[in-house]
Structure 1
Amino acid sequence: MARPASRFGYLDSLRFIAATVVVWQHLTDHRGDFLGRTVAQVGLGHAGVVIFFCISGFVVPLSVGGRMNFASFMVRRMFRLYPLYLAALALLLVVGGSGLLPQWAFLWSAPPRDWIANLLLVQDFAGARPFLGVSWTLIIEIMWYTLFGLSVTLFGKRAGDILDIVMPASLLALAAASLLLESRIPLGRPMMLYATVFGYQCYRHATGETDLRRFLLSIAVFLTTVLICTYVGFAVFQHAVMSFAQTLGPWLGGIATFLAIVFWPRLRDAPVFNAGWLPLLGTFSYSIYLLHPIAINAATHYFEGPLRMPIAVLLLVPLAWAGFRFVETPAIGMGRVWGRRIDARSAPVT
């Protein structure tokens, strides 16, 4: 039976598209053939991450609704993010310690410092060995939750306008400092945080909070800031892996894809994006994203040649479904329960 249409099914479909291109990038990372080189040059995975953060900026304010209770909001968001990550680490301990996937055997001898850094999601900032490479995006999500929650708590309806000024100004200041100091200041991850703020501006326009003129100005400032920061971070100064073209192309492609599906009615309202398998698969896109390295590593470890890619996909689908069904879904429910308790405690006595 076909899955019924959802009001925001197109966002779930967009999530699945983003997850798919990230998985595709990692499936072809170690291929030395034309396909592998092409995917690496195009930077599909990078575009997928940009789309993910734009979506996050759109759906987080959508999930809040009316009154903001910062403590309740953060509890709900942490229950959305952390349980699957902790479950993934537990799974890595099992498959690594048992020898099923020796790549993660090191977890059993990892120093406490590395464990603390990875549990707090600050492994890249602390110089610790990452346990699950794709988890680098999760700390940016937490930064976005904190930034949004505090901004709305402190500034109310002015939060969107303030963030729309503060974020590009901060990034351009970092780019200017990099030029003045003649030293490369990492700008890629702050740009990803700005992508969430841009998604927030898209939400504001989609709900009628800002007019077209203001929205077009937000787009222009966002694109200009991305161009300048990408040029400074990846052209003036060299990155160890990514070139200027490999960085800017995915940014522009990801932004264009997000804007097209969210604001072009022929795409946004298309049945394929709002009912059926595509939005259904999108509902567990977080599990697809976070768990796909395990499936890929298993396929790579036990199979050779062209079988690796289809086997990885066949392993990933049930693994991601299980992650959504048995970890994400109950955790989301638990977050709502605790959130309501906090709301009730902080409600004014009448």
Structure 2
Amino acid sequence: MSAATAPLVPSDPGSSGSPAGPGARLAWLDALRGIGAMAVVAEHLLPWFLPGLRPYWFSLGVYGILVFFLVSGYIIPTSLERHGDVRAFWISRFFRLYPLYLAVTALVLALAWWVPVRAEVPRDGSAVAAHATMLLDVVGVGGVADTMWTLSYEMVFYLVVTALFLVGAHRGSGTLTMVFGLGAVAVGLVIGGPLLRGGWPAYVTAAVFAAGLACVLWGRARTAAACVLGVTALAALVLSSRIPWLGVAVVAVMFAGTTIRRWEEGAGPLWPVAVTTALVGLAPLRAIETGWWWVQADVWLTTIALAGGTFAAGMALRGRRLPRALVWLGLVSYSLYLVHHPLLKYFTTISGDLREAEPVWQAAMAALALALVLGASALAYHFVERPGQAWGRRVARAVSGAGGGGLRGGGSGGRAR
């Protein structure tokens, strides 16, 4: 399994564009995204360019995605609550995620004559359905770009949080994180792999996603539709995910991030995070039998500890001046996340296999590839991602001004208290 982040997704509209900007108080979140992004890039770059430097005492990729999932959990629910507008929230999410996602998909497909699309991508309509919803991994479909799999769990989290918000159950994050942590252990012991296979989970979830999200956006039976979406997402998470226990554990980690935010605001205790950490640590008990190196107890626990320690260090340093380069990496982290893997594949297709090359040549090629990835990520951010976000803000403001996006269903237009 290739471990890479969601959500490395830009998660907060107040996130800083620069250390000196109006969102400088949240620069620590950008810094964490920068760390997570570079960990994921290293996870994919080192085996191809500098295999001797790849660590095996912890998983760089899993470490990176855990950091990003904690960031998402920390900021997404409170962002929705602050604005109290589910319609604007989903419009913002769409314009933050889909423009670059679709651009990378188009690039990979356009160059498929040169570098074939991954074998994990079905050659039928289920691939289209799964890519349309981003629920790729939870319906057992590979993404055209390897790193797209984590976006599935971001989307599940958004759907669940929206449902909880609309029914007024969004404050119980401490209980939720422990429930999902316990669920990860239970699923890991009982379910060894996807119970539902084939293309039909992708088709069913796509149909529910389209109809349900239309209701959420237009206010028709909004609360009921959001609940159906949340239940459908969780059912797919448990029944058709490639690695069911991991999906449930990821949601537990995201709610742990929310619990940390509640504790910081004085709205809840911190101890559920410790309980969830222990449960997530136990989740791959049965998976150890698969032989995957990254779920071995010493590797898995070390990776969790490093991710949690990194997030804690980021919180401890919030409000302080952080390296501009690190904050910039966080700013472009979503672009870096989506473009780096295809670009590395294209680079190695031209350069040839570097695993047996001289160390000096390996290092030079790795530096060149990294420079190209960073440059391409900057361009993708400025010409695709940033304009998409600007359009999203305009549309969300227009929709919010028209009313109908508030807390309760039926187009009430109310605001969250």
Same fold (TM over 0.5): yes
Q: Is the 8 A contact 1:83 1:328 kept in 2?
A: yes
Distance change in 2, residues 1:175/1:124 (3 Å): closer
Distance change in 2, residues 1:108/1:157 (3 Å): closer
Whole-angstrom CA distance in 2 between matches of 1:240 and 1:122: 24
Work out whether 1:242 is the aligned partner of 2:294.
yes
Map of 2:88 onto structure 1: 72
Picking from 249, 263, 275, the partner of 1:221 is 275
Output one character per residue of 1:11-36: Cα deviation in whole Å (capped at 9) or x when no partner.
Answer: 10110000001101111124685313
Whole-angstrom CA distance in 2 between matches of 1:162 and 1:186: 21
1:80-229 paired onto structure 2 within 5 Å? 80-97=96-113, 99=114, 102-104=115-117, 110-155=123-168, 158-175=171-188, 177-178=190-191, 186-210=244-268, 214-215=269-270, 217-229=271-283
How far the C-alpha of 1:185 sits from its partner, in A, is 7.0
Q: Is the 8 A contact 2:96 2:385 kept in 1?
A: yes
Q: Is the 8 A contact 1:18 1:48 kept in 2?
A: yes
Q: Which runs of 5+ in 1 are unaligned?
A: none
Map of 1:272 onto structure 2: 322
Distance change in 2, residues 1:322/1:193 (3 Å): same
Which stretch of structure 1 is more off in the superposition, 283-292 or 24-33?
Answer: 24-33
Q: Is the 8 A contact 1:93 1:107 kept in 2?
A: no
Whole-angstrom CA distance in 1 between matches of 2:272 and 2:136: 33
Work out whether 1:337 is the aligned partner of 2:394.
yes
Distance change in 2, residues 1:79/1:280 (3 Å): same
Output one character per residue of 1:170-225: Cα deviation in whole Å (capped at 9) or x when no partner.
Answer: 3344245459xxxx973112111111111111111222323xxx21x122211121
Whole-angstrom CA distance in 2 between matches of 1:35 and 1:309: 12
Q: Is the 8 A contact 2:49 2:366 kept in 1?
A: no
How far the C-alpha of 1:239 sits from its partner, in A, is 4.6
Which stretch of structure 1 is more off in the superposition, 120-129 or 14-23?
Answer: 120-129
Structure with the largest fraction of helix: 1
Map of 1:326 onto structure 2: 383
Whole-angstrom CA distance in 1 between matches of 2:311 and 2:326: 16
Distance change in 2, residues 1:339/1:239 (3 Å): farther
Superposition RMSD in Å: 3.0
Whole-angstrom CA distance in 2 between matches of 1:146 and 1:134: 21
- 3-state DSSP of counterpart to 2:82: coil
Q: Which runs of 4+ in 1 moved over 4 A?
A: 105-109, 347-350
Whole-angstrom CA distance in 2 between matches of 1:239 and 1:121: 29
Distance change in 2, residues 1:115/1:54 (3 Å): same
TM-score of the superposition, structure 2-length normalised? Answer: 0.71
- 3-state DSSP of counterpart to 1:66: helix
In the alignment, residue 168 of structure 1 is paired with which amino acid? Answer: G
Q: Is the 8 A contact 2:31 2:330 kept in 1?
A: yes
Picking from 292, 308, 320, the partner of 2:340 is 292
Distance change in 2, residues 1:326/1:78 (3 Å): same
Whole-angstrom CA distance in 1 between matches of 2:332 and 2:343: 15
How far the C-alpha of 1:143 sits from its partner, in A, is 0.8
Whole-angstrom CA distance in 1 between matches of 2:413 and 2:133: 36
In the alignment, residue 145 of structure 2 is paired with which amino acid? Answer: L
Output one character per residue of 1:279-328: Cα deviation in whole Å (capped at 9) or x when no partner.
Answer: 12211111111111122112212224413311211111121111111111
How high is the sequence identity, in percent, across the aligned residues? 25
Whole-angstrom CA distance in 2 between matches of 1:105 and 1:156: 40
Whole-angstrom CA distance in 2 between matches of 1:311 and 1:109: 33
Whole-angstrom CA distance in 1 between matches of 2:107 and 2:120: 11
Q: Is the 8 A contact 1:15 1:52 kept in 2?
A: yes
Distance change in 2, residues 1:109/1:201 (3 Å): closer
Distance change in 2, residues 1:239/1:155 (3 Å): farther
Work out whether 1:10 is the aligned partner of 2:28.
yes
In the alignment, residue 163 of structure 1 is paired with which amino acid? Answer: L
In the alignment, residue 275 of structure 2 is paired with which amino acid? Answer: V
Whole-angstrom CA distance in 2 between matches of 1:349 and 1:332: 23
Distance change in 2, residues 1:197/1:268 (3 Å): same
In the alignment, residue 302 of structure 2 is paired with which amino acid? Answer: G
- 3-state DSSP of counterpart to 2:290: coil
Q: Is the 8 A contact 1:48 1:254 kept in 2?
A: yes
How many aligned residue pairs are there? 329
Whole-angstrom CA distance in 1 between matches of 2:318 and 2:403: 40
Output one character per residue of 1:27-55: Cα deviation in whole Å (capped at 9) or x when no partner.
Answer: 1124685313xx24421111001000000
Q: Is the 8 A contact 2:41 2:340 kept in 1?
A: yes
